[in-house]
Amino acid sequence: MVDLSIGDLEHKQLGQNLTVESQVVFRNLTTPSGHFAEKRVEVEVQDGTLTIEIGLHASAKIKASLDQDKHGNSNTCLNWIRILAKP
């Protein structure tokens, strides 16, 4: 299991995206200044490496549905990760 937190103390963060082991944890989530989102996900690591994708480069197909910067990229502020062994 993995616990994660995104957000920013001083700035609103638009369209945050986070994926763990190909499992979407947060997609296009906006957090107001001083607010955070936390989530626990259960994932299976097959190759011995925990894969975390932070942010998202918007393809032409999904650009219209994402909050993004002028280059088509989203911004994600990852605060912490806690990795827990499966009981």
Sequential pLDDT tens for the chain (87 residues): 999 999 999 999 988 999 999 999 999 899 999 999 999 999 999 999 999 999 876 554 455 455 555 555 568 999 999 999 877
Q: Is the pTM of this model over 0.85?
A: no
For residue 6, the enclosing domain spans 2-83
> Where do the DSSP E strands lie in the chain?
2-8, 13-20, 23-31, 35-41, 52-54, 78-83
Q: Is 44 exposed, middle or buried (0-12, 13-18, 19+ CB in 10 A)?
A: exposed
**Around 6, how many Cα atoms within 13 Å sit in the side-chain half-sphere?**
24
Q: Is 63 helix (H, G, I), strand (E, B) or coil?
A: helix
**Count: domains in the chain:** 1
Q: Is 11 helix (H, G, I), strand (E, B) or coil?
A: coil
**Around 56, how many Cα atoms within 13 Å sit in the side-chain half-sphere?**
25
